Amino acid sequence: MCVWDSGKSLIWNGISKIEFDKALQQGLEKLKEEEDAMMRSPKVLLNTPSYRHFRLVSFPENYNNISRLGQLSDELTKYFIREKPDRRFNISSVNVAENEEFKEYCRSSKSQICLHHQYRSIDGSCNNIKHPDWGTSMRPFLRLMPPEYCDGVSEPRCGSRAELPPARDVTLKLHRANYKSDHRFNFMFAVWGQFIDHDITATAITRLINGQMVSCCGSTGIDKCYPVILSEDDPIFILYNTTCMEFVRSTPAPRCTLGPREQLNQQTSFLDGSVIYGSNVELSRRLRSFQGGRMAVTVSEDGKDLLPVSIDLTDGCNREEEAAKGRYCFLAGDVRANENLHLTTLHLIMVRHHNRIASQLQQLNPKWDDERTYQETRRIVTAQVQHITYRELLVPLLGEKVMESYDLTVRTSTYSTVYDDTINPSITNNFATSSFRFAHSLLPGLMKSYENTSPDSLTLLRKIFFNPFPLYTPGSLDRILMSAVGTDVQKANRFFTTEVTQHLFEEPQNSTEPKKCGLDLVSMNIQRGRDHGLPGYPKWRVYCNLPPVKEFNDLKKFMDDESIEALQRLYKTVDDIDLYSGSLSETPLKGSILGPTATCLIAEQFRRTKFGDRFWYDANAGPHSLTSDQIREIKKTTLARIVCVNSDDVKEVPENLLLFSSISNKNVQCEHLADIDLAPWSEM
C-alpha cells in the first residue's frame, strides 16, 4: 500500500515513489531493448521442427500484455535487490497491485463478486468463492517450495559447486534408448494421460508481435533465449552439423508483489474438460454450433462428423499439399490437439460424445434452450472425464495403496468427496514441468500401423506427429483407435526411444524440402525444469518425507547401480541432479509404475485437483451439485463404452481401454458394455 511520509513524499512499501518510478522506467526501457533485439534477430523458419514446437506452446498474441507485465515484474525485482540489497529477503513485501501498470491484472480476479452459479466458468474463475483466482487460466503455477534461480530472481538454475551438465549430455548418457515393453498398458494409456495433461497444464512461451519465433541459436544477448547446446560427438551434430537446439524460456507471470519469477498456466487447473471446450470465452464460442447445445463439427465426404478445421497455413500443422485437397488440421479446445494423430482422434471421439449426449438431453427436455443443453452436457462429459481419469488411469499408474493413502479412490457411494475451500487446486510447477512428463518415457518407437495393411505392419512414431490427415479417409478412425489399443508402451523409466530424442517433429518423409533434424523432447524437459528454477531432486525427496539423499551412495537404496554410475558421471554433486532425471531413475514402487518421488508428486497434485474443485462430480458442495441418481449413472462410465458408441464401427474392445487385453482385462463386445442412463436429467 502507499502512505505519505512526513516530508509529503509518497512511500511505496518503504520505497519512495520517486525511486519506484525510476525502477519502473528502467524496467520499461529494458523491455523495449529486448523487444527490439528480438525483432532484429533471425527467425525460426516456417514448418521446421522448432517452429512446430513453438506454435504448440506459444503465448496467444492477444495476451501479450500479460507477458510484458511478467517481464516487468522480473526487472523491478532485480532493480530493488540490486539497489537495496537489504530488501532481498523481504522483497515479497513490495506490493505493486495499485500501480497503474499492474492494477488491471491484479484486480481482474480479486475484485470479482462470485455468485453461486450452477455451472463452471470457462476460465475457471470463481470456482473457489473465497479465492476467485485459484485454478484460473492465465495465472501462475503453484510452488510447493521456493524456486532456485542462479541469481535468486530469474536466471535458470545453476550447479551448486560446478556447472550443470548440458541437458543434451544428460539425454545421451542417462536417457538413452533401451527398448523394454510394458505389456500391461497399451498406447491409449499414454494418449489419455496426454489428453488430461493438456486439460490442466499449458506452459506458455512468448512469440513476437507478428507471430514469428526468434531463433535463439542464431541470436545473442536475448534474455528469453536458453538454447540446448550440442557437443561435437552428438549424433545430431555429426549428421546435421548443428551445435544448438532452439529453446525459448517460458513466459514469466505477472506478480502483484515482487519476488522470484513464476510461470503462467494457460489452461484452467481444474480437470474440467477445457481440452474439449477451451479455457477462454473467445475460443469456447468458436467451438460451439449454438444449435441444440452441440459442438461445431465439419462433415467428411462419407458423412461422418470431424472436428472443425483450422485453415491457418502458418499454424505449424497445415500443409499446402493437403490444403489443396481441402484437408486441413483441426480446431479444438487445446492448440496441441494436432500434435499426434491418436490425440486428435481422442479429441474427435469426445466432441462426438458431447454431441451425442446433447442430442439425447434435447429429446428428454425439448424445452431446454441451446445454452442449458450445452452446459448440462458439458457438466456430464466433464464428470465422465474425471471418473475415467481416477478410475482407469490413476489406479494402474499410482497403485491402489497410494490411491487409498491420498484418498483418491473412487468410492461406490454417490457423494464421496468432501470439497475443501482451503485447498488450492492450482497446478504445481513441478507437476507441469517435470513429474507428469514421465509419460514421454512410455512412448514406443514403433506403432501398430493404422493404415489398411497387414495386421503385423508397423509404423515409426514420428509419422503420427502433426499428421491428422488420415482422419479424412473413410474407415480410418477405427483403424487408428485399434492401433492405439493394439500397441504396447515402453516401461516407465529413464530410457527413451530415439523417436523423441532425435526425431521429434521431423519433416514428413515425402517432403520435397531438405530434411531438417528433429528435436529432443527429453533435453527440452530437463532444460524447462532449469528454466523454471525447480530445486534439485534430493529436495523433492525431503518434501515427500522420503529417506534423504546426501551423497551418491545413498541412491543405492532405490536405484540400480547403472543409473547411479551414469548420474555420478554427469553431476558433480548429488544435490544438482535434475528432478526429471532423478525421479525417472528410481526403482518403481510396488503397485505403481513409477518410483516414490514421482508417485508422491503426482498423487499430491491429483489430491488438490479433486478436493479443491467445488464442482467435482461426486462432491455435495451446494445446489449446483449433481444429484445422487445422476452420480450413480456417471459412475457407470467407461472409456471403452465412449469409444465404442462414438467410433464409426468398432465392435470389440478391452474392458479397460487403457490396459492391454488379458485374462483380467478381456475383450468385450461393445453392445455388452453398460451405458449411462440420462433419465435422471429429465425434467419432463
Give the residue numbers of the binding site: 440
Per the listing, cell 540446448 goes with 228
Residue positions in the annotated binding site for heme b? Answer: 440
> Which one, of 351, 335, 653, lies nearest residue 484 by Cα?
653
What kind and span of H or E run contains 668? strand 667-669
> Which one, of 527, 514, 524, lies nearest residue 47 by Cα?
514
What's the rounded Cα separation, in Å, for the pair 114 and 117? 8
What's the rounded Cα separation, in Å, for the pair 574 and 622? 49
What's the rounded Cα separation, in Å, for the pair 523 and 170? 7
SS3 call for 616: coil
- The tally of CA atoms less than 13 A away on the side-chain side of residue 282 is 3
| Given 198, 353, 354, 387, the catalytic residue | 198
Q: What is the largest CA-CA distance in the chain?
A: 86
Contact 439, 190 (CB under 8 A): yes
What's the rounded Cα separation, in Å, for the pair 411 and 416? 6
AA identity, residue 261: R
Contact 515, 507 (CB under 8 A): yes
Query: Could you give the dihedral angle defined by the CA atoms of residues 228, 234, 238 and 243, in that order, rounded to the nearest 10 degrees?
Result: 20
Q: What are phi and psi of 306, to 5 degrees?
A: -120, 170
Q: What are phi and psi of 526, to 5 degrees?
A: -65, -45
Contact 334, 202 (CB under 8 A): yes
> Which one, of 88, 69, 89, lies nearest residue 80 by Cα?
88
What's the rounded Cα separation, in Å, for the pair 552 and 539? 14
Identify whether 198 is a catalytic site residue.
yes
Which segments of 540-646 are extended strands (E)?
Answer: none
> Which one, of 296, 295, 309, lies nearest residue 375 by Cα?
295
Q: DSSP per residue over 461-529, as a string?
A: GGGGBT--GGGGSTTHHHHHHHHHHH-EEEPSSS---HHHHT-BTPPPTT-SSPP---B-HHHHHHHHH
SS3 call for 277: helix
Question: CB atoms < 10 A from the CB of 597, how many?
Answer: 27
Per the listing, cell 452420480 goes with 631
Query: Which grid coordinates belong to 54?
Result: 513453438
Count of positions (residues) in the chain: 684
Which residues contact residue 387 at a Cβ distance below 8 angstroms, ignoring those fewer than 6 apart? 410, 617, 634, 635, 637
What's the rounded Cα separation, in Å, for the pair 364 and 678? 8
What positions carry a catalytic annotation? 198
